[in-house]
Amino acid sequence: MERIKLAEDLSFSRLVYGLWRLANWKQSSGQTLDLLKYVYEQGVTTFDHADIYGSYTCEELFGVALAKEPSLRQKIEIVTKCGIVLPSPQRPNHKTHHYHTSKSHIIASVDQSLKNLQTDYIDVLLIHRPDPLMNPEEVAEAFETLKKDGKVRYFGVSNFKSDQLTMLQSYVSEKLVINQVELSPLVLENIEDGTMNACLENRLVPMIWSPLAGGKLFSDMSEKGVRVREALTEVQKEIGAGSIDEVAYAWILRHPAKTMPIIGTQKKERIQAAINALQYELTLDQWFAILHSSLGHEVP
């Protein structure tokens, strides 16, 4: 599988496996390990976490599975995130859903993630959401400390807009390598508001969450949803794809910023759809037909 170079000594697989819903799948650690190995055998070596996924439980479920086959760690890249504080049965002292990006919180969050994931290092740590109270000097200090201590190799952000990206980067000495953002044929916000351009300008790669709009690509019965599904189906026929999600992945992969879609399913059929998409390069006619179906009109 194609690999995307993020730094001199770091590359990700073009497709990333997301563990967002791992807790929902109610698997044994053996089943989880089998799934990870299956994904890995397809060429997907990059795994996306956040401290809060599964209400603070997914990292640990992954760590327990990984501990069954420790040699896997060196062959994969682990991304995790910090900065959201969530009320949760696992965190009874959390009162309000809020952000926390102080130096001490970032470092404590990473320490907990390392413990949960049963690993010595995170490949890339992301600030999960732009925090209106983010003190960029503190974040920069936290990043330096974590790098120096070997706990995190590289740093990035998630859901950051252009102003937040350039502001934080101006305080952080090392180049941020990732901005994880939402993009799908149904959700164009980050194309329309300049975030994708900001990624290109700042030379950081967008990881794409909800490439299938969290399943709405299949189920959204709004006018827009129906229109987009029709356009995807049309292109599916033209290219001989097996399903519309293949087309959606191919649509995202066509973007010049080297988008890395996150696969969020444990179903092998759906994982395979993402992998199949790598073989297609949509024509511009096809790409814009899908764009137009989402916009509801042609580009000017």
Binding site for a copy of itself (CB under 8 A): 85, 95-100, 129, 132-138, 159, 161-164, 166-167, 170-171, 191, 194, 196-198, 200-201, 254-256, 284-285, 287-289, 291-292, 298-300
In angstroms, the CA 21 to CA 178 distance is 21
Rounded to the nearest whole angstrom, what is the least distance from the CB of residue 21 to a copy of itself in the complex?
18
Rounded to the nearest whole angstrom, what is the least distance from the CB of residue 4 to a copy of itself in the complex?
15
- b/e per residue 76-112 (b: at least 16 CB within 10 A): bbbbbbbbbbeeeeeeeeeeeeebbbbbebbbebbeb
- Residue 126: HSE in the Cβ half-sphere, 13 Å Cα cutoff: 27
Q: Look up residue 118 and give its two tokens.
A: 């049963």
H helices within the chain, ranges in order? 29-41, 53-56, 58-67, 103-117, 136-148, 162-169, 189-192, 195-201, 216-219, 223-239, 244-253, 268-277, 284-295
* Residues with Cβ within 8 Å of residue 45, at least 6 apart in sequence: 12, 13, 75, 76, 77
Crossing angle of the two packed helices 284-295 and 223-239, in degrees rounded to 10: 170
Of the two residues 14 and 161, which places its CB atom closer to a copy of itself in the complex? 161
Rounded to the nearest whole angstrom, what is the least distance from the CB of residue 91 to a copy of itself in the complex?
12
Of the two residues 218 and 287, which places its CB atom closer to a copy of itself in the complex? 287
Of the two residues 44 and 134, which places its CB atom closer to a copy of itself in the complex? 134
Rounded to the nearest whole angstrom, what is the least distance from the CB of residue 114 to a copy of itself in the complex?
23
Return the active site residues: 53
Rounded to the nearest whole angstrom, what is the least distance from the CB of residue 254 to a copy of itself in the complex?
7
Question: Tokens 């600030």 appear where?
Answer: 127
Of the two residues 129 and 153, which places its CB atom closer to a copy of itself in the complex? 129
Of the two residues 64 and 167, which places its CB atom closer to a copy of itself in the complex? 167
* Residues with Cβ within 8 Å of residue 274, at least 6 apart in sequence: 15, 211, 245, 246, 249, 261, 263
